[in-house]
Structure formats: C-alpha cells, structure tokens
Amino acid sequence: IGALTSVLKHYLRELPEPLIPSDTHDLFLDFGERATSTPPDAALPAMRRLLKRLPDAHRATLGRLCLHLKRVDQHAATTRMTSRNLGLVFGRTWTY
C-alpha cells in the first residue's frame, strides 16, 4: 500500500500543473477556513462555484481522487487513514 501511495503522490507532484492551480489555490484555502462556520446549504453552492473554476481535466481528476480517498476514510478502522491523516499525506501533494 505504501508503494502505491508513493507512486500516486509522485504522479501528482510531477503533473505539469497541480490539480489545484496556483491561481485558485488561495480561493480554496479561504473557502476551507470559512466553511467550518458556514451553514452547509450555503457552503455547497459556494464549493460548486469554486470547483467550476478549475479546468475540466483537473476537476475530473480531483473528483475521482476525492472519491477514492473517501472510500479509504470509510475503512479507517482497518486502514487507520482518517480524513485528517489523508489530508496530511495528500494535502500539499496536489498544490504548489
């Protein structure tokens, strides 16, 4: 599992442009900071608008990656990879 994770992280680091490009990186960080104090019914449309700013290929790849990481988190009792741990491992991988 460690080898596969390393390959995935290496792939993400070697992309010509990160999944979250530098021109939207700060917007995503700002959203993350505000989202904890924003009602979900307001946060979801804001996140959708933000995701639409990503190039199509980036959005599709990020979506598939997030679905996979969600599945890993759902098995955290076995994998010991909670969403917090996954964030620590992958968070800086797909951004500058």
Question: What does the pLDDT look like over 44-74, one tens digit per residue?
Answer: 899 999 999 999 999 999 999 999 999 999 9
Mean pLDDT of the region 65-90:
90
Q: Per mean pLDDT, which of 34-38, 45-49, 83-87 is the most reliable?
A: 45-49
> Coil, strand or helix: which one is 86?
helix
Cβ distance 54 to 95 under 8 Å? no
Res. 92 pLDDT band, cuts 50 70 90: low
User: Two tokens at 60?
Assistant: 């599709």
Give the predicted TM-score (pTM) of the model: 0.79
Q: Which helix (H) or strand (E) holds 14?
A: helix 2-14
Higher pLDDT, 93 or 58: 58
Q: Is 50 exceeded by the pLDDT of residue 37? A: yes
Q: 19: burial class by Cβ within 10 Å (0-12, 13-18, 19+)?
A: buried
Query: Which is it for the CA torsion 23, 28, 34, 38, positive or negative?
Result: positive
The residue with tokens 């290929």 is 57
Q: 61: burial class by Cβ within 10 Å (0-12, 13-18, 19+)?
A: middle
